[in-house]
Amino acid sequence: MEERLQKILAGAGVASRRKCEELILGGKVQVNGETVTALGTKADPDVDEITVDGKAIGTEKKMYLVFNKPKGVITSASDPQGRKIVTDYLKGITERLYPVGRLDYDTEGLLLLTNDGEFAHLLTHPKHHVAKTYLATVKGVPHGSELDKLKNGIMLEDGMTAPAEVEYHDIDSEQRHSTISITIYEGRNRQVRRMFEAINHPVTKLKRISFGDLFLGNMKRGLFRHLTKDEVESLVKLAKQAGKSSAGRSAIKSPDDSRIKAVEEFKPKPKPRPNTKPATKSANAQTTTARSASGKPASTKATAKPASKQAARSSSRPTSKAKPAGRAGANGSRNRKAGDSRRRGK
């Protein structure tokens, strides 16, 4: 069957689709011996001989890895400055793999690697809005109203960001730093860092803990593992669903509203009188519900601590004594779930 050349090349594991386009434009690709430089060109891999720099494209076995990238490693196939690159860590892997999207040099955490260009394309295409969650340690403790700005979308130099989900995760006892979990659906350059800079709380440490419904869990830094067939299929399904949904994000977003709610719960509330009834069950459930990309709350178990009670103790700016409502969820059910390096919902 005839297909666009860049799609064939990416599917054959030559490189990501964008890189394949560059190869075509750069005159590196030949079809039946003729160099092709037009991006729209179609070919049939069953009939045509397709070569890159004179070498026939293979039908390499598709490979999918999840890697815990340490800080101080470049997400690229080579570095002219000789710094460490992700593939330095892939001992025993002879396939030519490339990263699915990027993490900054200083960012650590979950990075997917593959030789399946279509998979990489699907998961990184802005249209597919795959959720990515980060733990961002920032200077100071952002006020709830500042986090609201991230939640609603904030103007950066390259335009408004899409709404994000944010939740207090931890605050140091002297309130010099706090850790916020943030889920975004885009993949702009240094996006999370720029978002926090925009609210004057620069990021000092950034770690990606999930991509779609795949979680880093307790995988050690610098290690990798192969994704299971189910995990690959689930990510593909998720990206396709999100791409199809008319609102774009709705296929994976709705349960996350609960996490936004957790931040809202954090706003000052009147101190309850001793006989005040505890918060309703549903309110608690909302504050402790974690995202599951399948669209189902991962857990509502950690409801023992009424969120309103915690919030009521807090001032308008969170203190380390008054635990943010989201924290119970984040350090309780959510992290336990995140501790499972396999995807949720199985």
- Cβ within 8 Å of residue 320, ≥6 positions away: 171, 172, 173, 174, 175
Binding mask 200-219 for ligand URA (x = CB under 6 A): ------x-------------
- Cα distance between residue 217 and residue 214, in whole Å: 9
Query: Which of 179/191 has CB closer to ligand URA?
Result: 191
Q: Which of 87, 191, 288, 308 binds ligand URA (CB under 6 A)?
A: 191
Residue 194 Cβ vs ligand URA, minimum distance, rounded to whole Å? 6
| 190 binds ligand URA per the rule CB under 6 A | yes
Of residues 20, 203, 225, 23, the one with CA closest to residue 113? 225
| 71 binds ligand URA per the rule CB under 6 A | no
Structure-block tokens of residue 29: 């690709």
| 193 binds ligand URA per the rule CB under 6 A | yes
Longest dimension (CA), the chain: 84
Q: Which of 31, 103, 111, 166 binds ligand URA (CB under 6 A)?
A: 103
| 6 binds ligand URA per the rule CB under 6 A | no
Residue 103 Cβ vs ligand URA, minimum distance, rounded to whole Å? 4
Q: Is 104 a catalytic residue?
A: yes
Q: What dihedral angle (degrees, nearest 10) is formed by the CA atoms of 139, 141, 146, 152?
A: 80
Q: What dihedral angle (degrees, nearest 10) is formed by the CA atoms of 27, 64, 103, 171?
A: 170
Of residues 171, 192, 182, 177, the one with CA closest to residue 140? 177
| 257 binds ligand URA per the rule CB under 6 A | no
| 263 binds ligand URA per the rule CB under 6 A | no
Amino acid at 2: E
Residue 185 Cβ vs ligand URA, minimum distance, rounded to whole Å? 12
Active-site residue identified among 104, 106, 148, 257:
104
How do beta strands 132-139 and 177-184 pair? antiparallel
Contact residues toward ligand URA (CB under 6 A) are 103-104, 107, 190-193, 206
By annotation, the residues acting in catalysis are 104
